[in-house]
Structures are given as structure tokens and as C-alpha cells.
Amino acid sequence: MMCWLTVLVGLWLVTGRTVQVQAATIFDNGDFVFQVMEDGKSAEIIEYNGKSLYVSVPPMVDKYKVTKIGAAAFMSNKTIKELEIPGSVEYIDANAFMGCQALKKADISGNVETIGEGAFMNCPALETLILQEGIMHIRESAFSGCTALRSVELPNSVITVEKYAFFNCSLLEDIVIPDTIDELGGYALEGTKWMKNQTTDCITIADGILIKYTGKETSKSLPSRVKRIGDYAFAGHKELETLLLSRNVTKVGKYAFSQCGKLTTVSLPETVVSIGEGAFEGCAVLNNVTLPSQLKTLEKRTFADCEALTAITVPAKVESIGEYAFSFCTELKNVKLQEGIRSIQPHAFQSCLSIGRMIFPASLREIAENAFANCSNITRIEFNGDTGLASFSFSDCFYMKEAVFYKNPTNINEYAFSGNSLLTFYSDSSLYVEEFARKTKLHSDNIKNLPPYEDKEVVFDTLEQTEDGFSGTYTFIIFIIVVVDIAVIVVFGVYIWTDQRRVMKKRKADNKSRRTATVPKTKAEMPSGTSQPNPNAYMYSRQRPQTPSPLKPPAAPSRSSAQMYSR
């Protein structure tokens, strides 16, 4: 008897819009509980309630093709001894057969492309595993803890075996790994009898993937058969000081050398095109690394916490520097970026306390949040192109004095330089106040107002407040003012005063209100009857002034000031 149930799984009510309610059709045939998938033609098994010793998953149920075994569908089953998965199934989800205590044999069809994370984890009785041609991906911990498993043959179709895949399969001593495999994750075979039987210190599999180094030498040259350094291959090694990679190596895997506490020098050949996430993270005394010119990727955390690293040149083919890639490299002084770099990701150079100067090439389009946060000794930065600066990208760079823009910046977040109190901005002479200010709102902390140098009356088109404020459109457009934080801005000879005063006046002709601000020669108290705007308010215009009045450059600012003026 087939039992059907339609379950409401989502309801979205939006005033004035058409609402579409999605429903999931769930049904069972006694042993299996199925759910119809989104395509309306296939189904997945979401639960098994049977008591059979031998289970063959049905390829069809009613009119639906069974293409997926859902997450935890058979988890902790205590009766199944043999399992057959048919050709209709394409995906086995996470933990699908985890903890099946009695399972001895599993025959998995080649139409299954992916065996999910922990799918057969901790099946202690599993002795026979048949993986048919067609399977491509074996996810993390898929068969870990299968302590009775003695042999496995991976088909030629397998390209990915993720970390811990066969971890602690303690009796596994016969394993066939095809040369076609592209990735063998860290510790995938750790704790197996096969690993214990290896006699070489460079344990390699397939087509030259070094999966673990067991030697005790302080200096090591890798043999020519090694073509790739696997994930975690040298991780945590306590003796290695210098390493020479063979010219056949093309890839360094994730966390390959992480936490190698004595490693000082690594020679990377020009053949290396990829260095994985966290590859050298925590190598506290690493001070000599030359990145190969063919390198294409710098993933996140690649050199994080390499406290002794003093200099790095990023090759031209690297387009992006990943999150935290060089974070907390406290001795890093010299960073050279080549033309070709396009983005620097969040926290990439955070807390690099020794960087003194940075020059950014014209190709760079983005510096993300906190990329250089807390680089407390950086004093000067130069931009050769229109580089966007995200919020807090240079926050708490306490001693930064100069920011030079050789092209008109068009996308600088208002908090990009938060916490910088000594900063002076320089820009190309073609940079107009309005073009810059229309797209730029800057905050800077603890800046003392400078005395102004000339009287000037300005009228603003729009006053915009970012917090609990108001906005309005007014006449007589001129240029930008940033109210609070940055005290004085001088660009292209136009002076702007930010003493937070605002005055409402009415035009005699049409009796309409307009907003004006008067710049005094010296710092003065606010006239009676005026009010203070919200600290996060910005005044800006939409049109360049017809005849901007150039001013002479002001006197050298004090260390506690902030200016912007053209070169």
C-alpha cells in the first residue's frame, strides 16, 4: 500500500506581489520513504524503515526515478548486511549509511557520481566494497572508521578523494589508486595498514602525488618522481629546516607544510602553478621564499602567521591574493605587487606590523575589507589605478601619513581609513573636488581641525545623513563637504571647511530655502541660532563649480591633522 502526503515547505507573503507556495510530495511504500525532487520526475530516499538483511534500492518508485539517497537515510541501521545501489542513483548524500553496524558488503553503481561526506563512516563490519567505473568523487570521511575493510580498488573514473576518506580503516592494506586521480586529501589513508607498510620516507601514490613525508632529516631534496605535494604532506614536521622541490612539481596542496616549526627555506621550482590554502601557515621561522613566476593562485592563509618572513614578490600571473594570505607576518617589510594583480581579499595583510610602504599597480581593482588593517607602521601608500577601497581596508594604520592617488579614485568606502589620525591625501592634478567627493565619503578618527586659510561661502545641493538623518535638494550647487572626522580637505585648489555649522536661509526671489556654510579665516565658535548636524552627515554636490577659485597650498600640517590637496 502506497501512502502519499503533500507537505507545505515554504510560504512567502509579500504585499502586492504574486505569491508562489512550494510543496513537497512525500510518500512511502512500507520500507522506504521517498520525496519527489524539484524536477517533478525523480525522487530521493529520505528514510528507510525496513528490517531486511539484504537491501536493493529500487530504481523506480511509482512513476519517479530514484536518483538520490538522502542525508542520513539509512543511518545507524542495525539489520542490513548487504546493500546494492542501482544505476538510477546519481548521488549518495552525507551520512547516508553512517553507523550501519551489520553492513558487510556494499555494491555501488558507476552511475553514482558522488559519495557524500561520511556516507559509510563507522561501518565496522564492512568487508567488501565494490566501486564501479563512473564514480568520480569520494567526499571527506566517506569510509573512515570502516575497520574491517581490507581492500579497495578505486576505478579510473575517480578524480577526487577528499581528506580522511579512508581514515582509520585499520585493516586496509591493499588499495589501488589510479593515475588519473587529481586530488587525494590530507590523511585520506592515515591509520591504514597500507600506510604502516610503506618503507620510503616519501610516500607517493598514483602519478607522483606525495601524500606523506615520514623522514627525520633537517634538509631534504624531493625525488624526481614527486609531481605534486599532497594536502598536509609535511604538516607539523618537527625537524625539517630546508626543502628543495624537484623541477617536476606543479602543485603544492592545502596545508602541505603548515606548522613546520623549524622550516626556514623552501625552494619552489618555476613549474609550480598552484599553492593551496594554508600551505605554509604557521611556519614561524620561514624567512626565505621565492614564488615562481608561473604561479597563478595564492589561496587563503597561504603564508599566514609566518612571523619571520621579511619580503615577498607576488608574480604577475597571480590575479588575486586570498583571505588572510599573509596575515600576521609581523616581520614582513617589503611587498612587491606586479602589474596583473586585480584583487586583494579580506585580511590578506592584516597585522603585518613591519610594512612601511605599499605601491599598488594600475591593474588592481579591489582592496577588500581589513586587507591592511592594523598595519601599524605603514606610512605611505600609492595607487597607480582606480582601485576600490572597501570598509576598514586600511583601518588602524596609526602612522600612515600619505595616500597618493595618480588616477581619480571612484570607489572609496567612508571607513576605509578608519582610525588613521595623521593622514594626508595627494591626488593627480586632474582630480576635481566634485568628481572625487561625489563618490567618496571618508571618516578618520581623532583628527584635530586645522585653521582655514581663506573666507569662502559655499552652497550645497544636497545634505545627506547616514544615521537617523534627513536629505533634501537645494539650489546653487558647488562642491563637497564631509562633516566631521576629516577636518580639512583641499583638492585642486578648492578649500572646504568642516566645522559642522549649518545655516538655513531663504532666497528673496522665490522664498525657497537653501543651505549655506561660511568658511571663516580662523576657527570660530558657531553663531547663535545654528544647530549641529548628525556626526555621520555628508554634504555633496552633483555639478562642478563653474569657476573654481584656486588657493595657495596651506602650510605644512601638524602631525595630528589631515589634508587632501592636489600635487
Cα distances (angstroms) measured from residue 164 to each of 40, 84, 141, 188? 36, 24, 5, 4
pLDDT band at 233 (very low <50, low <70, confident <90, very high): very high
430: pLDDT confidence band, cut at 50, 70 and 90?
very low
Q: Provide DSSP, 449-467.
A: PPPPSS-EEEE-SEEEESS
Name the residue with higher pLDDT: 129 or 536. Answer: 129
Q: How many residues does the chain have?
A: 567
Q: For residue 356, tell me if it sits in a domain.
A: no
Please give the biggest Cα pair distance in the chain. 96
Winning range, highest mean pLDDT, from 212-216, 418-422, 495-499, 544-548: 212-216
Over residues 385-405, the mean pLDDT reads 88
The answer to the question of residue 50 being in a domain is: yes
Contacts of 99 (CB under 8 A, 6+ apart): 75, 76, 77, 121, 122, 123
Using the predicted structure, report yes or no on whether residue 11 has a pLDDT greater than 80. no
Does position 436 have pLDDT exceeding 50, yes or no?
no
The larger pLDDT score, comparing residue 469 to residue 381, is at 381
519 located within any domain: yes
Q: What is the pLDDT of residue 502?
A: 36
Q: What long-range pairs does 369-376 form, CB within 8 A, spacing at least 24?
A: 369/393, 370/346, 370/395, 371/344, 371/345, 371/346, 371/347, 372/348, 372/397, 373/347, 373/397, 374/350, 375/349, 375/350, 375/351
Specify the pLDDT at position 533.
32
Residues 471, 519: Cα–Cα separation, whole Å: 22
- pLDDT top residue among 402 and 551: 402
| CA 328 to centroid of chain Cα atoms | 17
Q: What is the dihedral of CA 206, 210, 215, 221, to 10 degrees?
A: 110
Please identify which residue in the block is written with the cell numbers 586585480: 342
Contact 97, 122 (CB under 8 A): no
Which of 196, 229, 251 terminates a domain? The answer is 196
- pLDDT bin (cut points 50, 70, 90) of residue 398 is confident
Domain presence at residue 504: yes
Calculate mean pLDDT across residues 299-324.
97
39 touches 32 (CB < 8 A): no
Q: Is the Cβ–Cβ distance between 140 and 163 less than 8 Å?
A: yes
Decide: 521 and 465 in contact? Cβ < 8 Å.
Answer: no
Question: What is the C-alpha radius of gyration for the chain, rounded to an integer number of angstroms?
Answer: 32
Which residues, 6 or more positions from 472, have their beta carbon under 8 angstroms from its beta carbon? Answer: 462, 463, 515
User: What string of DSSP letters covers 310-361?
Assistant: -EEEE-TT--EE-TTTTTT-TT--EEEE-BTB-EE-TTTTTT-TT--EEEE-
**Closest Cα partner for 234 from 222, 225, 248, 247?**
222
Task: Choose the weakest-confidence range: 21-25, 381-385, 436-440, 452-456.
Answer: 452-456
From edge to edge, which strands make up the β-sheet containing 82-85? 54-56, 82-85, 105-108, 128-131
Instruction: Domain count for the chain, please give it.
Output: 2
Range of the domain at 168: 3-196
| Contact of 339 with 317, CB cutoff 8 Å | no
Nearest Cα residue to 344 out of 328, 356, 317, 326: 326
Of the two residues 518 and 207, the one the predictor is more confident about is 207
Say whether pLDDT at 118 is over 50: yes
Mean pLDDT across the chain: 77
Domain assignment of residue 262, yes or no: no
Cα 531 to Cα 131, 506, 527: the distances in Å are 77, 17, 9
Name which of 163-177, 224-238, 429-443, 494-508 the model is least confident about. 494-508
Cell of 305: 602567521
Question: CB neighbours (10 Å) of residue 366?
Answer: 16
DSSP 448: P
Q: Are 117 and 92 in contact (CB under 8 A)?
A: no
d(CA 211, CA 380): 44
Strands 219-221 and 251-252: unpaired
Q: How confident is the model at residue 29 (pLDDT cuts 50, 70, 90)?
A: confident
**546 within some domain:** yes
Q: At 164, which CATH number? A: 3.80.10.10
What is the reported pLDDT for 402? 81
Choose between 420 and 182: higher pLDDT. Answer: 182
Residue in the block written with cell 549655506: 516
The reported pLDDT for the residue numbered 30 is 84
Residue 560's CB: how many other CB atoms inside 10 A? 12
Cell digits of residue 388: 576600490
pLDDT for residue 561 is more than 60: no
Where a domain ends, among 196, 224, 251?
Answer: 196
Provide the sign of the torsion angle of the four alpha carbons 231, 233, 239, 241, taken in this order: negative
What angle (nearest 5°) sits at the alpha carbon of residue 313, between those of residues 209 and 256? 25
Model pLDDT for residues 40-84, shown as the tens digit of each residue: 999 999 999 999 999 999 999 989 999 999 999 999 999 999 999
Report residue 106 as a C-alpha cell: 556494499
Predicted TM-score (pTM) of the model is: 0.72
Checking if the pLDDT of 113 tops 90, the result is yes
In the predicted model, is pLDDT for residue 444 greater than 60? no
Burial class (CB in 10 A: 0-12, 13-18, 19+), 538: buried
User: What is the model's pLDDT at position 505?
Assistant: 36
- Domain end (from 196, 219, 241): 196
As a whole-number percent, the residues of the chain with pLDDT over 70 amount to 70
Long-range contacts of 112-118 (CB under 8 A, 24+ apart): 112/85, 113/137, 114/90, 114/139, 115/139, 115/142, 116/71, 116/91, 116/92, 116/142, 117/141, 117/142, 117/162, 118/94, 118/142, 118/144
Structure confidence at residue 468 (pLDDT):
31
* pLDDT above 90 (res 497): no
For residues 16-45, give the mean pLDDT. Answer: 77
Q: Above 70 in pLDDT, residue 448?
A: no
* Residue 536 lies inside a defined structural domain of this protein: yes
Q: In this structure, which long-range contacts are made by residues 261-265, counting pairs with CB atoms below 8 Å and at least 24 apart in sequence?
A: 261/285, 262/218, 262/238, 263/237, 264/288, 264/308, 265/241, 265/289
Could you tell me the pLDDT band of residue 427, with boundaries at 50, 70 and 90? low
Per-residue pLDDT, 23: 54
Q: Is 180 within the bounds of a domain?
A: yes
Pick from 307, 310, 327, 306: which is nearest to 371 by CA?
327
Q: Is 6 exposed, middle or buried (0-12, 13-18, 19+ CB in 10 A)?
A: exposed
What span, in angstroms and rounded, lies between the C-alpha atoms of 523 and 451?
Answer: 5
Q: What is the pLDDT of residue 27?
A: 84
- CB of 566 within 8 A of CB of 435? no
Mean pLDDT of the 272-277 span: 95
